Amino acid sequence: MGEFYPYLIASLPTLHFGMKPPFSFEQFLETCHRLIPEKDFQILRNLPRPENYSEEGRKHRFVERWIKFDTALRNETARMRAGRRHIEAAPYLRPDTYTGPSLAPVVSAATMSPSLLDGEKILDETRWKMLDELAIAHYFDLDTLITYAYKLLILHRWERIRSADASLLLREALEQEAV
């Protein structure tokens, strides 16, 4: 299969934080599979998720940089939350080698937010911005697709949160009506 990165990437809708995902992650993968080399597709298809960051996923330089950042953000969040609960953070931390700017101010803002959802939104907006930074100078290559994939996963996470909240609110409203 030839490399049709410019065609593929130009055909994808622009993603904005907070929008409804334009298609499923599986549809995204199907589209990519037809237009990129198999080895690149396998990297895209097997992108590590936080629950299974592993050495396998660290074979690609862009993915490695993302994992370092995301692990550091999660570790800082665990430290702050543990501190607020007066418990030891060490059991919740993963090894990380992130050397970027301190994440403490953004995590502090997220953990101090009066709303859990607003705090999570702050963290995911920070992830979104880091993906933008990592993608600088990448326009029509695999790194651009990896950025797009992780952003699409963030959008799907928020879509699940929105739909869960809607069903919960409906259930609560119906229970109150019954009383």
User: Residue ranges per domain, the chain?
Assistant: 5-178
Measured distance CA(97)–CA(145) in Å, rounded: 24
Three-state DSSP at 11 gives helix
What is residue 3's predicted lDDT score, i.e. its pLDDT? Answer: 74
Question: How far does Cα 44 stand from its chain's mean position?
Answer: 14
Measured distance CA(90)–CA(82) in Å, rounded: 9
Cβ(133)–Cβ(143) below 8 Å: no
Residue 75 has pLDDT above 90, yes or no: yes
Output the pTM of the full model. 0.88
Residue 1 has pLDDT above 60, yes or no: no
Q: What would the pLDDT profile of 79-91 be if each residue is shown by its tens digit?
A: 999 999 999 999 9
What is residue 59's predicted lDDT score, i.e. its pLDDT? Answer: 76
Q: 């790194």: which residue's tokens?
A: 143
Share of the chain above pLDDT 90, in %: 78
Stretch 5-15: mean pLDDT: 96
Q: What would the pLDDT profile of 17-44 be if each residue is shown by its tens digit?
A: 999 999 999 999 999 999 999 999 999 9
Cβ(50)–Cβ(74) below 8 Å: yes
What is residue 179's predicted lDDT score, i.e. its pLDDT? Answer: 46
